[in-house]
């Protein structure tokens, strides 16, 4: 996988508003927020997109969801939306797996 700007955020080569970090993942605020609260949870392992994840990544994927929920709670969110764009046709623009966490406003369903 080629180096993306999210790898550079992990390596502190470019700045980001990091709100959580552990040995497996990082959460930081989206530079172009689509809700009053909008942050991304990314694995430190450079998986390009969700469909590239393998069985060996099962625990890591679960960890990303638990941290998304934990950080959302820490951000004062009770209701929130998770979003994973998988591939360019689904509007993925940065090819390092990331979970969007959005909150602080209402959301409609189904999404556009
Ligand atoms: P995607 O469209 O790939 O699912 O989402 C990529 C997200 O990364 C977008 O919401 C975009 O605003 C965010 N983003 C792109 N570049 C940067 C950056 O340099 N810093 C931060 N914090 N977010 C970024």
Maximum separation of any 2 CA atoms in the chain, in Å: 38
pLDDT value for 112: 66
Q: Residue 60: CB partners within 8 Å, gap ≥ 6?
A: 24, 25, 43, 45, 53
Tell whether ligand 1 has an atom less than 6 A from the beta carbon of residue 90: no
Q: Cα torsion for 76, 111, 43, 1, to the nearest 10°?
A: -160
Global pTM reads 0.97
Tell whether ligand 1 has an atom less than 6 A from the beta carbon of residue 93: yes
**Atom 4, ligand 1: residue with shortest CA distance:** 92
Q: How far apart are CA 52 and CA 82, in angstroms?
A: 19
pLDDT beneath 50: ranges in the chain = none
pLDDT value for 40: 99
Q: How far is the CA of 110 from the centre of ligand 1 (A)?
A: 23
* Bridge partners (DSSP) listed for residue 102: 38, 81
Q: What is the DSSP letter of 75?
A: T
ipTM: 0.99
- Helical ranges in 1-112 per DSSP H: 5-10, 58-74
Yes or no: say if 28 and 16 are a contact pair by the CB < 8 Å rule.
yes
- Let me know if 98 is a catalytic residue: yes
Q: How far is the CA of 32 from the centre of ligand 1 (A)?
A: 7
pLDDT value for 111: 82
Tell me how crowded residue 85 is: count the other CB atoms within 10 A of its CB: 17
Domain spans in the chain, listed from the N-terminal domain onward: 5-103
pLDDT value for 1: 64
- Top-level class of domain 5-103: alpha beta
pLDDT value for 30: 98
Q: How far is the CA of 76 from the centre of ligand 1 (A)?
A: 22
């Amino acid at each position: 996988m080629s180096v993306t700007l999210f790898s550079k955020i992990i390596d502190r080569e470019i700045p980001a508003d990091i709100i959580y970090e552990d040995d497996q993942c990082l959460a930081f605020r989206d530079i172009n927020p689509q809700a009053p609260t909008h942050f991304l949870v990314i694995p430190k392992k450079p998986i390009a997109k969700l469909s590239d994840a393998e069985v060996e990544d099962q625990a890591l994927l679960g960890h990303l969801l638990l941290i998304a929920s934990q950080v959302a709670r820490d951000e004062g969110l009770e209701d929130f939306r998770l979003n994973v764009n998988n591939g360019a046709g689904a509007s993925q623009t940065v090819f390092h797996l990331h979970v969007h966490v959005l909150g602080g406003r209402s959301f409609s369903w189904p999404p556009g």
